[in-house]
Structure 1
């Protein structure tokens, strides 16, 4: 079976319960979804529904109480810390609401460093970083540190960093949630365009229903389960 016929990410029967005193909160109660190569999937649901928990489990940052996480057909649920780290570095990219760039390094260095950690030379890492940043209009800002960049420029840099190691999958948690509406719209448009050009799959948690409608698929986290709906039905 070719890679195009295997989901990049399969979440199977995920369960996660938190304890608050004597109270049990069943955040995930059998959540399942497949994300296929090249797809952008919106993850929506009310605040507190468990979207961030789901993304943490999908990203092998947290372990479910039950269920399985498959990345490119490989069951990663029982991997040790070192194994999960290897999968994250080679297969995944992460984008958060707050950019989490390294403040002492330039935009170019922030995008090059993950590649150098994976074993590329500084020259190779900086060459790809320059291409990615330039593609998002940051060719004149390569040597600027995060504090010298606008909010939109910081988030564009974070997007490039997430794509630096050519991941199969991007996991994004409210990637434009910290931006004003106009900048959010622009960054989202660039985000999806870059995902398409790089051929990666993405699972993107968002409260912005207008943005969710423009993705390939939409899944709603409802009472611990994932329910797929048509993008055209979002918010109606």
Structure 2
């Protein structure tokens, strides 16, 4: 089934956002428009300060735009009240950040269980789901370890499991491998992509890593406040002569 046969998991329609800086008005988004479809990973590129984090915050219902629509599962979330936006955020959206933000006093398993309990799932069901996710990410034997006992890559994989624990339609990731060494970043990225494919979630991944961006399904670049789809090709120079 092609994209044209599916409803988008997320549609951003002509988003506008500006901030006052002293007497100046800084326009960050000037009509940004894009759609994300189930099961695809889309890279979000742009220089620092271009507004990538603002776009993710608006898409994740953490911030309201000055204009435009954020449509998730057919619902324009800009028009919702705060309580409904919170409910939508908990049930339909997962987040992964550059820094894992795991709760240090809880085990890896408990960190993945907690968002499910908040959503109202029974503990046994939440623990089964958390166990399956951690196993899928190669962390089955680390489930009872606390974050301080895990490597940086392991911590980020727990954060990814937590991000998809509630079966969201949309996963928003802000530099999810930016704090990792290249080898670890590669492994975490591959497992993130695999999870996107298997779960059918739509993922929007902000990154500065052109190599990783080129391996996603599509690339969107935030330029002058709008989103432009582009091709990214990474040329590797062979060491053998």
Report the TM-score when normalising by structure 1: 0.95
How far did 1:4 drift? Answer: 5.9
Check conservation: 2:97, 2:176, Cα contact below 8 A.
yes
How far did 1:233 drift? Answer: 7.8
Q: Equivalent residue of 2:78, what SS?
A: coil
Check conservation: 2:103, 2:111, Cα contact below 8 A.
yes
Check conservation: 1:4, 1:36, Cα contact below 8 A.
no
Alignment of 1:180-219 (within 5 A): 180-219=181-220
Q: Equivalent residue of 1:182, what SS?
A: helix
Partners of 1:93 and 1:4 lie apart in 2 by 24
Question: 1:112 maps to what in 2?
Answer: 113
Question: 1:88 maps to what in 2?
Answer: 89
Give CA deviations for 1:158-198 in whole Å, capped at 9, x if unaligned: 00001101111100000011111110011001110111111
CA-atom RMSD in angstroms = 1.4
Question: 1:22 maps to what in 2?
Answer: 23
Question: 1:179 maps to what in 2?
Answer: 180
User: Runs of 5+ in structure 1 lacking a partner?
Assistant: none
Question: 1:47 maps to what in 2?
Answer: 48
Give CA deviations for 1:121-162 in whole Å, capped at 9, x if unaligned: 111111110111011111111111111111000000000001
Q: Equivalent residue of 2:62, what SS?
A: coil
Q: Equivalent residue of 2:143, what SS?
A: coil
Matched, 1:36 2:37: yes
How many pairs align?
Answer: 232
Question: 1:154 maps to what in 2?
Answer: 155
How far did 1:232 drift? Answer: 3.3
Partners of 2:212 and 2:49 lie apart in 1 by 20
Give CA deviations for 1:201-233 in whole Å, capped at 9, x if unaligned: 101100011000000000000000000012438
Q: Equivalent residue of 1:83, what SS?
A: helix
Q: Equivalent residue of 1:140, what SS?
A: helix
Partners of 1:28 and 1:47 lie apart in 2 by 14
Report the TM-score when normalising by structure 2: 0.94
User: Runs of 5+ in structure 2 lacking a partner?
Assistant: 236-241
Question: 1:225 maps to what in 2?
Answer: 226
Partners of 1:4 and 1:63 lie apart in 2 by 29
Check conservation: 2:96, 2:163, Cα contact below 8 A.
yes
